[in-house]
Chain A
Amino acid sequence: MNGNSARKDWLLLIVFAVVVLTAPITLEPLGAAYPDILQKFAIYGLFAIGFNILFGLTGYLSFGHAAFLGIGSYSAVWIFKLFTMNVIPAVMFSVLIAGLFALAMGFISLRRSGIYFSIITLAFAQMSYNLAYSVLTPITNGETGLQVRHLAPSDRGADYVLKLVDEDLRLVDQAFGIVEHGIPITNLFGMKMSGYPGFYFCAILLIIGFFISLRIFRSNFGMMLKAIKSNQNRLNYTGINTRPYLLAAFVISGMYAGLAGGLLAVTDPLAGAERMQWTASGEIVLMTILGGAGTLIGPVLGASVIKYFENIFSSINDSILQNTFSFLPEIVQEWVVGIVGMFVGDGWHLTLGLLFMVIVIFLPGGIMEGASKIAGLFRKSSNSGTNPPVQQPAE
């Protein structure tokens, strides 16, 4: 790697960091400058970055990444319940557990490629989802979801039956003599992790996650992953065993998903099995594709766009629509409100599905490809004649 591109990368990282950290100010005009949604941007951005390391670089389409999100959430909430409300151990633990699960799942599923890989990962995720709802209820609390609760009484008798799902221990916090009033909030050494501090915590992890992903993209390891995507057979013929590389990519992306799940629990200490459903896996695929699979910025962009529009669209209801179209004659207005009403509010998923199709049909490279196409148009008009050499694959 030459010095010029290294400098470009640092520039990219700095610009990225500045954009993320100033988001509460710059997103003000868009109406998205409040902590809840900013946290979602950062968390799903991380998730998408991780997914992109697997899907974008190697081309292996996993339909089971939501399982790691759920596992991360459960792990974090258990740390909150058992040890401490401090977020550092919870986040570390969720990354670790998700990584272990990813190692096991990747070890098995990476024996196959293509659609078989997608189906096996989907099968694993559905298994986790079904188990979380049935047998694992002592760990997951089933449909209610796992929550941080009040402390179990400290003077428990010998015959006291402790129900860990409903009562918490928080051994470490107790050892430090932290007094709780009501249900405690997650904190970072005393700093409450709700609102803007919570966002900044997620944002800093997002920047670190982005940096790691940038390093992976530029490393030999990243080159190897890209080689797997373009032609795995040829790599095998040259005597390279690709599976360790794939497994490493799978585990890394699983850890990102676990981190995202842990952060979801940090910002709202509640974990439910619906996070593992395969629609959630589909959503992360959409985020990555919408932004541009295989690009650095794309996944974060895609995640933010989807979460932003989800927020906007699902908050619109019929009375807002009626106000908006009140300038129309009444019959036309009713008609328009009926049609538009299908796509907003509860109908947000319809818009999402349509968006999904439109993106895959017309812009498989996502927003990043669209942007570079537009940029290409401008460049062509300014200095025509210097066509870049078209790369021909050597067959």
Chain B
Amino acid sequence: MDAIFLQILNGLDKGGAYALIALGLTLAFGTLGIVNFAHGALFMLGAFCAVTMNKLLSLEQIILDPTRTTAWGSPLEIRTPYLEIWFGDFGTMLMDYSVPISVLMTIPVMLIIGVVMERGLIRHFYDRPHADQILVTFGLAIVLQEIIKHFFGANPIPQTAPDIVSGSANIGLWIGLGESVVYPWWRLVYFGFSAVVIFGVFAFLKFTTFGMVVRAGMFDRDTVGLLGINIQKRFTIVFGLAAVVAGVAGAMYTPILPPDYHIGMDFLVLSFVVVVVGGMGSLGGAVAAGFLLGILQSFASMNEIKSIIPGIDQVIIYLVAVVILLALPRGLMGRKGMMED
């Protein structure tokens, strides 16, 4: 019982990341009809926003102290972060919270990147075959990831979660399952964060006028256009929103997995599988399938299961995807007429 509960918990944070990326993919697909292979790169860019933020926050003032020398005989360098000089303890706290703070930077940056990407490139591919869309965004993904590699190097850059949530939560005691069920705080935070973002996106689409227009546009673009609404502009903003969702998902994920330049590719392949399992174009399906596959993956990596079917943890997601696609061609919650040409 404890073990099962723990595996479900373990799947939640990864599932959260899958769900957020898949949500963005589905938004882009449902509105613009674009199959965006560069969406994983957006996740990666978000993660590197967090890295950049951390670097900015921990810029240091270097003073040479000629009176003291290091073991190598050169003058001792005294490094003090500027934030500490300027704000004292508050500055140290800011540095500690670099990852959550970076989300604030990620949102505008990703919105701009998303809108520029849509206006500059995606726009020209509305009427091209899906194969062309896949290829051009695949090329873009390579370009983005190589640029990041050029500036940040090829090695993963670890990020730390704020001190207050760096330990483990004793969840077992809260719900009466015993002390064996412990879970890192930050992952819990990540799950909560992804839930908030997902609800935010759904509420935005459901309860705002803007969201209503977008939903109408997803349903019947031409008619909405005939009503005198500039649906294109709204779809562009939705694409930017999708980029923001992917970006913040990446930024918040950095303390769990140190980001390197191809983190996006790794997540992209899985997220596409998630989208297809959930049903192309179905937002609810994407979220459900994201968490489902995340949890399944964590179950498959249990030792008890691995000893029965070796290697199952490596392939479970793909296997499930193949089975679901063959049994339910439209995925779990796919709509009729999506991608069936």
Contacts and interface: CB of A to CB of B under 8 A. Distances in A.
A285 B135 contact: yes
Given A115-B280, A364-B132, A347 B321 contact: no
Given A108-B322, A130-B315, A349-B142, A119 B276 contact: yes
B150 A342 contact: yes
Nearest to A130: B314
A182 B136 CA distance: 48
A127 B318 contact: yes
Contact of B146 (A133, A278, A353): A353
Contact of A357 (B139, B273, B276): B139
Nearest to A137: B311
Contacts of B35: 115
Interface string B313-328: 0110111011001100
A355 B135 CA distance: 11
Contacts of A97: none
Contacts of B48: none
B191 interface: no
B190 interface: no
Interface in A5-20: none
Contact of A289 (B128, B135, B269, B315): B135
B325 A116 contact: yes
A136 B311 contact: yes
A126 B314 CA distance: 9
B315 A127 contact: yes
A106 to B, nearest CB: 13
Given A126-B318, A357-B139, A115 B146 contact: no
Interface in B275-295: 276, 280
Interface string A340-354: 001000110110111
A353 B131 contact: no
Interface in A60-109: 61, 108
Interface string A126-152: 110011011110000000000000000
B280 A134 contact: no
A236 B124 CA distance: 32
A195 B140 CA distance: 37
A221 interface: no
A123 B132 contact: no
Interface residues of A, number: 42
B300 to A, nearest CB: 12
B314 A123 contact: no
B139 A356 contact: yes
Contacts of B272: 119, 122
**Residue of B265, B272, B315, B340 with most partner-chain A CB within 10 A:** B315
A282 B139 CA distance: 9
Contacts of B139: 286, 353-357, 360
**Residue of A114, A119, A289 with most partner-chain B CB within 10 A:** A119
A59 B143 contact: no
Nearest to A289: B135
Contact of A131 (B140, B150, B311, B321): B311
A135 B310 contact: yes
Nearest to A131: B311
A286 B132 CA distance: 11
Contacts of A350: 142-143, 146-147, 150
Contacts of A59: 131
A135 B134 contact: no
Interface range on chain B (Cβ under 8 Å from partner): 35 or more
A112 interface: yes
Given A347-B146, A357-B143, A360-B139, A119 B134 contact: no
A187 interface: no
Contacts of A127: 314-315, 318-319
A124 interface: yes
A135 B340 CA distance: 36
A160 to B, nearest CB: 26
A342 B143 CA distance: 11
Main secondary structure of the interface of A (DSSP, over half): helix
Interface string B138-157: 11111100110110000000
A114 B339 contact: yes
B146 A349 contact: yes
A131 B143 contact: no
A344 to B, nearest CB: 12
Contacts of B341: 114
A123 B139 CA distance: 20
A131 B315 contact: yes
Contacts of A282: 138, 142
B130 interface: yes
Contacts of B322: 108, 120, 123-124
Contacts of B146: 347, 349-350, 353
Contacts of A122: 269, 272
Contact of A356 (B135, B310, B317, B318): B135
A355 B35 CA distance: 20
A120 B325 contact: yes
**Residue of A111, A346, A361 with most partner-chain B CB within 10 A:** A361
Contact of A123 (B140, B142, B147, B273): B273
A122 B149 CA distance: 24
Interface in A177-226: none
Given A127-B318, A364-B132, A356 B138 contact: yes
A49 to B, nearest CB: 19
B329 interface: yes
Interface in A26-57: none
Contacts of A349: 142, 146
Contacts of B136: 356-357, 360-361
Given A130-B315, A346-B149, A357-B139, 5 more contacts: A131-B314, A353-B143, A356-B139, A357-B121, A357-B136
29 contacts: A108-B322, A111-B329, A112-B325, A112-B329, A114-B339, A115-B134, A123-B317, A127-B315, A130-B314, A130-B315, A133-B314, A134-B311, A134-B314, A135-B310, A278-B265, A286-B135, A289-B135, A342-B150, A347-B146, A349-B142, A350-B147, A353-B139, A353-B143, A354-B143, A356-B138, A360-B135, A360-B139, A361-B124, A364-B128
In the A-B complex, the 5 residue pairs with the smallest Cβ-Cβ separation, listed nearest first, are A135-B311, A353-B142, A356-B139, A350-B146, A130-B314
